[in-house]
Amino acid sequence: MPESEGRVLFTREMKKDYTILVPTMLPIHFKLMLNILREYGYKCELLENTGKSVVDAGLRNVHNDTCYPALLVIGQMIDALESGKYDLHKVALMISQTGGGCRASNYIHLLRKALHKAGMGYIPVISLSVGNMESNPGFSLTPVMLDKIFYAITYGDLLMLLHNQCRPYEVEPGSSEALVDRWAARLTEEMRGRGLVRYRQVKANYREIIRDFAALPRQGSPKTRVGIVGEIYVKFSPLGNNNLEDFLLSEGAEAVVPGLMDFCLYCVYNLLMDHKLYGLHTKLRHKVFEFIYRFLIKKQWDVIEAVEEEGTFRPGGYFPHTVDLTKGYIGHGVKMGEGWLLTAEMLELIEQGTCNIVCTQPFGCLPNHIVGKGMMRLIKERNPQANIVAVDYDPGATRINQENRIKLMLANAAAIEGAAPEAPWEKKNLPQTPYAPEYGLDESASDYAMSIKW
Amino acid sequence: MGMTIGIDIGATTVKIVVVKSGDIVYEQYERHLSQVRPKTLELIRKAKDVIGDKPFTVALSGSAGLGVAKAANLPFVQEVFATGEVIKTFEPDTDTVIELGGEDAKIIFFTGGLEERMNGSCAGGTGAFIDQMATLLDVTPEELDTLALASEKVYTIASRCGVFAKSDIQPLLNQGARHEDIAASIFKAVVDQTITGLAQGRRITGKVVFLGGPLYFFKALQREFVRALKLSPGNAVFPDMGRYAVAIGSAIYAEKAAQPMTYAELVDRIEQAVGEAPSAKRLSPLFENADEYAAFLNRHAKASVAHLPLDEYQGDAYLGIDCGSTTTKLVLIGEDGKILYEYYAANKGNPVEVIRSQLAELLPRCEGRIRIRGSAATGYGEDIIRHAFSVDAGLVETMAHFRAARHFNPDVDFILDIGGQDIKCFRVRNDSIDSIMLNEACSSGCGSFISTFAQSMGYNVAEFAKLGLFAQYPVDLGSRCTVFMNSSVKQAQKEGAGVEDISAGISISVVKNAIYKVIRAASADELGKNIVVQGGTFYNDAVLRSFELELHRDVIRPSIAGLMGAYGAALYAKSLGLEQSSLISLEQLKEFVHTSKSAVCGLCGNHCNLTVNSFGGGKKYISGNRCERPLGQEKREELPNMYAYKLEKIRALMDSKPGKRGTIGLPLGLNMLENIPFWHAFFTELGFEVVLSDISTRDTYIKGQFSIPSDTVCYPAKLLHGHIQNLLEKGVTNIFYPCLTYNFDEHKGDNHFNCPVVAYYPELLRANVAELSDARIKFLYPHLGIHLEKTFADKIYGQLWNDFPSLSLREVRRATRVAYEAYNAWMVDNKQKGREAIAWAREHGKKIVVLAGRPYHVDPEINHGIDKLIASFDIVVVSEDCVADLVEPVKVHVLNQWTYHSRLYNAAKYVCSQPDMELVQLVSFGCGIDAITTDEVREILEREGKLYTQLKIDEITNLGAVRIRIRSLLEAVEERRRAHAGV
């Protein structure tokens, strides 16, 4: 096996007949992204195995005090490898790597250790990271691919947003999910070929997607909205959070889940903060990051605008504004794990009127001590309507305990709400957005642009 | 107003109330022993006459009520919400409600923003915990309460969770502490746990109403709450209806929200209700059929030890005593190793008495024919037993087990011992111990959990275990710890799991805990061919079978599995080659008395809780001490100890000089303990009077306890809340505690981060310590890059001038220079001193232990005096930073990106090259990053043939478990030396 510093490489030859296995986190987004990879000649498969055997494989192969997402992701992969479905000499694994001071940046290393221990050390592991933390001769993300993956995220976020706002009210059960699937197929089809995505087409798609969802027959009175924030994996992955969204739905609530784009923006924003706080990166690189940041928030704004224009649905938050909300709560130097973004998302949800929040975290999650549980007192003090419950996820935690706590939060929600909010699907005039769609760095708003004071 | 009924089905009890026109006319409270629906029906039927045939409204509540309500299609209200309703109606001027149930603890704040909260995942099982502890002391919960009321003192018992608390209580029992004091300490632990786990940053003040079964029944618990919260009599309310609060709340809710129904309808609905579908989390049976079980028994029957009736033997004999955490074992062997006499039973919290009565039975039968030529004791109670009965020798239990297993099967590759409290494993290679794996706190008490659980279900262990053998659908209870398992059991019971399925499930979970968390083996091949399992827990065939199934391998269980420790001790006694044993004689035994009293040692700042045992005739045994001083022995020469040295250096900075710019306070916690020379020099140079918070004590923790928002964070972080309080008490108005994402770059790894908790704890403090938001207090917590010497002055100037406008950039630059110099000199001095200590040790022929942790482990409240304990074994203690620079940076298999952790890898590598050095890793509970480093450090050491020892510490102060680990290491090293020397 070709190796680099003891690491098994994914070679050009492997690209031809190896199947790359990818663990699931966000079902909609990941489906779109994998389709893009396939277009570039990678054989890949999204792992959908769940259940006890996944957890058991994790417990067997990962230190049990490691965070739950590592245990699940690695467990899911090992379980798949042991299932007999794959030719072990024709598979590779892919795992995302964000880097940073959280122990999550060690997942890829723990995966390799686990493979080694399980006698499968020859299986190459590909790190999926924008910064190219590890390189493999057989795998690279070209700028065009990144461009497409980027749109897979914006599409994914939009579909997730609309799906969440329709599902609790659909007349025909499963109709909004079917619509998501139909669009996922269509978008994949459109992104075929190797050319850049045409943005005009993307914007037209946004509008058509929104119209399609708006046309979906829905009924019933408005339900209690519950925001979900937390460590990225347990926040998004049904495997990680015991199907939290389904549970909330069954309790008569509507789930509100801030999208993945915010996390991407958070990562870029941190690069800007690194420059400001520690003088990291050259001036030129910093300029590039600034350009990327502006580019991304502009794209986010376009989605928000499309949603507002149509008028049926509540758009997601606008990142520079979300950043601004944290003022007086948490410093933007807090960049490990979900960092200050987690606090920001709670504040964003509260501002949008979603005062009921489930803050999900793996048991013993280090950054969440600070940015999740650590900020709740202050948030509640300044926003008395906030109704937040922290839920720990762990292989040993009982579902009934988790659900009982969420039920308490829901009971409080019902008491707090009193007056029912307007039906979300009724056409109404949204209040003029309080923040301008300037796609530059909002100098007055973001901490980044503030003078060096705290 | 009509009639309304509230039914509260909790984790352990059912409560029902009938309310007519606002008056409670009927109430009933009973344990359901997991028979949720039958018990509920029974209580409803009992109320038939009261209810009559008029229509009424009804609502259910409680964690078990949820399932019943769903199945019977009855209205349900969440229990904490129901409590809130009831308090608003009956005690509207309440500020706070604390409610403790069987499994959950809840708190409701009314004033200052309504907030309802339940305990976090770790703090499960309040009532269940008290029940378990009562079982441990062999009393009923009511007797436990009576005992506690007669207490004289309260021991510090870990309050993080039931498992930790038990780990503290067990050694206290074995050291002979008064049961009254232990009982009171148990209630105190519940109180502490409630305050940290639930208050989470909000102060519990004003009028507090206490609800729930435990708070109604246990007067001692009430007393401890009132004391801890400093409540005036009028402000602490323990209402008579406390147990029924949730049920009453449900009734109130029912009146508002439910449709009327009749008695017949209600009974009918509950009768008809099909229980929740069993969860999918079921496992395969242990045995398919009786034949399989018979074959299994046959195979294991082969592994038996020869016995010889005591009355037929004549000659020399050797006595082994294993005084374990929950059971006491005694074995007498003859010259040829045959067992002449054996005893195995629960110690019922009083091992001394058990041994006394056993000796009283055994000695007369030996009289004349059998000469006891040697005796040895092992186990948690080793010391007290040795002192009480003049036993010849003691050996650490790991070695006793190892000896016995080797005697049993000389080719053994792997030994697993699951005792009541501990799980121990050894890998044997080349005739000596290759590695030792001992459980850490979370895996403690697995063995005794089975027996306490069996008892609480009304079975003895053997019966209970048998039930599990042929269970069709064993439940999956997870493997994290017994607290989590216990709460999983509750869930399984509510889903209708039978006792058989639970029994099998518990056995499987205990085994999984051992395999996944202690042994950490992915496959049986890592363990080798000949695996011997022992410890009382393995008498349980279900446990044995689960282990074989999980490992896919047959193992050997000696017929004396539970006696192996005692057997090993007897073998050891024999190996001593004594002419005559010093064991207590029959005459002396008749005079034997045992009394104990508690005392606090005042000889140093640790203030150890001592237990003084007297055995008559002036014989005494003192326990609970960390060093030799209270034993009245001659003061031994002080060995070099880097932990002590570093702490003294910090102390020397405590004297402050007035400065022209006023005072600035620095909290002495986490990374501050290492960066103190830097900040001290920096601010002193700028003309500030630098005030440090005092070195931590237990009180530091208590003082800040109420503002800790996350109960699963590490203890070193929790202490900071107390340090901030301490600074505020000193009247400091400027407090400086920076956020440091990056640490100094020591060029040992891929990066130089701090861990997220160290890096950002100041942010958390600002958000949770209310006083820091006071306008008069300046809490400065800028994000700084301490690793960037070049730009540091400019950056910090930008952060400081706003608050201190008189500062000039030039001054700050100069102070920066001084600070870096001071820091570098400090670090160089530490390394220099460390090397001197090593040289001194070699000159004097002493062993060296590198106690590898984090800089903040020098804090005596964090390390609990472990450095002194190790030194008491005549060992020179150095810290990881002293040796981390002596090798080239080590290449590890993980991302090596935290400065403190990189030192660990390097220290481990260095130790490998030094024959007279061992490494002991200190790990704080909740340190997520150490889940990564411990595996790596172990690997580095074991690759080079060194033994790895890990000490996991938290607020637990009892060092019994630590002592065993240190002794195991030392004796294993000795054992290896002997094996290699061919002795």
Q: Are strands B423-429 and B414-418 parallel, antiparallel or unpaired?
A: antiparallel
From A375, which residue of chain B is nearest by alpha-carbon distance?
A: B767
Q: Which residue has the higher pLDDT, B626 or A186?
A: A186
Q: Is the pLDDT of residue B860 over 70?
A: yes
**Residue B848 belongs to what H/E stretch?**
strand B847-852
Calculate the alpha carbon distances from B630 to B600, B623, B876 in Å: 10, 9, 21
Nearest to A395 among B478, B520, B742 (CB): B478
Q: Which residue carries 């245990």 as its tokens?
A: A71
CA–CA separation, B426 vs B414, rounded Å?
Answer: 6
Query: Would you call A401 and B124 a contact, using CB atoms and an 8 Å cutoff?
Result: yes
* Run of H or E including A45: strand A43-47
Residues 814-853, chain B, touching A (beta carbon < 8 A):
none
- A266 in the same domain as A199: no
Q: Which of A220, A239, A256 is the last residue of a domain?
A: A220
Task: Give the closest of A368, A371, A396 to B484, CB-based.
Answer: A396
Identify the domain containing residue A64 by its residue range: 3-140
Examine the domain organization and report whether A14 and A124 are in the same domain.
yes
Q: Looking at residues B300-321, what average pLDDT do you find? A: 91
B202 contact A CB<8A: yes
Mean pLDDT of A326-345: 95
pLDDT value of residue A263: 94
Q: Are residues A193 and A232 located together in one domain of the fold?
A: no
CB A129 within 8 A of CB A98: yes
d(CA A102, CA B785): 18
Of the candidates A26, A304, A302, the one whose C-alpha atom is nearest the C-alpha of residue A184 is: A26
CB contact under 8 A, A369 and B479: no
Band of residue A441 on the pLDDT scale cut at 50, 70, 90? very low
Contact B101, B221 (CB under 8 A): no
Residue A442: per-residue pLDDT: 38
Residue at B277: amino acid letter: A
Does residue A391 sit in the same domain as residue A409? yes
Query: How far apart are the CA of B930 and the nearest CA of chain A, in angstroms?
Result: 9
Instruction: Choose the weakest-confidence range: A91-105, A180-194, A416-430, B716-730.
Output: A416-430
Q: Average pLDDT, whole number, for chain A?
A: 87
Facing B935 at nearest CB: one of A63, A279, A381: A63
So what's the pLDDT on residue B595? Answer: 86
B620-623 and B949-953: which strand pairing? Answer: unpaired
Interface contact flag, B78 A407, Cβ < 8 Å: yes
Provide the pLDDT for residue B633.
61
Beta strands B3-9 and A387-393, pairing class: unpaired
> Pick from A140, A157, A174: which residue ends a domain?
A140
A105 and B741 within 8 Å at the Cβ level: the answer is no
What pLDDT digit, counting tens, does each position of A398-407 carry?
A: 787 888 889 9
Question: A301 and A231: one domain?
Answer: yes
Residue B213: the pLDDT is 87
Angle at B881 between CA B879 and CA B884, to 5 degrees: 115
Interface contact B897-A390, CB threshold 8 A: no
Clarify whether residues A215 and A248 are in a common domain: no
Quote the pLDDT of residue B484: 84
- A163 and A312 assigned to the same domain: no
pLDDT tens-digit series, residues B371-428: 999 999 998 889 889 999 999 999 998 899 999 999 888 899 999 999 888 898 988 8
A90 and A172 assigned to the same domain: no
Q: Which two tokens stand for residue B573?
A: 């006694």
Contact B66, B56 (CB under 8 A): no
B104 interfacial to chain A (CB closer than 8 Å):
yes
Distance separating alpha carbons of residues A260 and A158, to the nearest angstrom: 10
CB B45 within 8 A of CB B271: no
- A174: Cα within 13 Å, side-chain hemisphere: 0
Quick one: average pLDDT of B855-868?
94
At A351-398, the pLDDT tens digits run 999 999 999 999 889 999 999 999 999 999 899 889 999 999 988 787
Task: Give the model's confidence band at B632: pLDDT under 50 very low, under 70 low, under 90 confident, else very high.
Answer: low
Q: Which residues pair with B918 in a beta bridge?
A: B849
pLDDT at B755 over 50: yes
User: Does the pLDDT of residue B904 top 90, yes or no?
Assistant: yes
CB contact under 8 A, A331 and B81: no
Q: Which of A220, A254, A282 is the last residue of a domain?
A: A220
Dihedral over alpha carbons B192, B197, B201, B207 (to 10 degrees): -60
**Residues 112 through 141 of chain B touching chain A, CB cutoff 8 Å:** 113-116, 118, 120-121, 124
Nearest CB to A278 within list B279, B785, B898? B785
Show the beta-strand stretches assigned E in B39-139.
56-61, 96-100, 105-109, 115-118
pLDDT score recorded for residue B605: 67
- Taking only the tens place, the pLDDT of each residue in A318-327 is 999 999 999 9
Mean pLDDT in residue range A415-444? 41
- Smallest Cα distance from B100 to chain A, Å: 15
Q: What is the pLDDT of residues B470-488, one digit of tens each?
A: 998 899 888 888 888 888 8
pLDDT at position B750 is: 87
* CA–CA separation, A362 and A102 (whole Å): 13
CATH number of A93's domain: 3.40.50
> Number of A:B CB contacts under 8 A?
227
For A424-429, what is the mean pLDDT? 36
Q: Does pLDDT of B171 surpass 90?
A: no
Distances from the Cα of B926 to the Cαs of B339, B481, B752, B955, in angstroms?
45, 14, 21, 11
Closest CA to B381 of B443, B451, B321: B321
Q: Is any Cβ of chain A less than 8 angstroms from the Cβ of B480?
A: yes
**What pLDDT is recorded for position B591?**
87
Percent of chain B at pLDDT above 90?
54
DSSP E strands: which ranges in B326-402?
327-334, 339-346, 370-378, 393-394
> Which amino acid is it at B810?
R
Same domain as A305, residue A160: no
Where does the pLDDT of residue B270 fall: very low under 50, low under 70, confident under 90, or very high at 90 and above?
A: confident
Q: Is the pLDDT of residue B123 over 80?
A: no
Residue B779 has pLDDT above 70, yes or no: yes
Share of chain B above pLDDT 70, in %: 97
Greater confidence (B269 vs B856) lies with B856
Give the 3-state secondary structure percentages of chain B, helix then strand then coil, rounded to 5. 50, 20, 35
Min Cα–Cα distance to chain B from A435, Å: 27
Q: Which of residues 74-103 of B touch A (CB under 8 A)?
A: 77-81, 103
At residue B620 the predicted structure's pLDDT band, cuts being 50, 70 and 90, is confident
Asked if residue A379 and residue A284 are part of one domain, the reply reads yes
Return all residues near A124 (Cβ < 8 A) that are at least 6 apart: A1, A8, A9, A10, A11, A14, A18, A92, A93, A136
Q: Report residue A439's pLDDT band, with 50, 70 and 90 as the boundaries.
A: very low
Residue A294 is predicted with a pLDDT of 95
Return the structure tokens found at B268.
């009918």
Q: Average pLDDT for residues B52-61, to the nearest whole number?
A: 92
How many domains does chain A contain in total?
3
Structure pTM?
0.89
pLDDT recorded at residue B167: 80
Q: For residue B20, give the H/E element and its range.
A: strand B13-20
Name the residue among B476, B802, B928 with its Cβ closest to that of A366.
B928
Note whether A86 and A230 are same-domain residues: no
Mean pLDDT of chain B: 89
For residues A260 and A292, membership in a common domain is answered with: yes
Which chain B residues touch A113 with a CB distance below 8 Å?
Answer: 893-894, 935
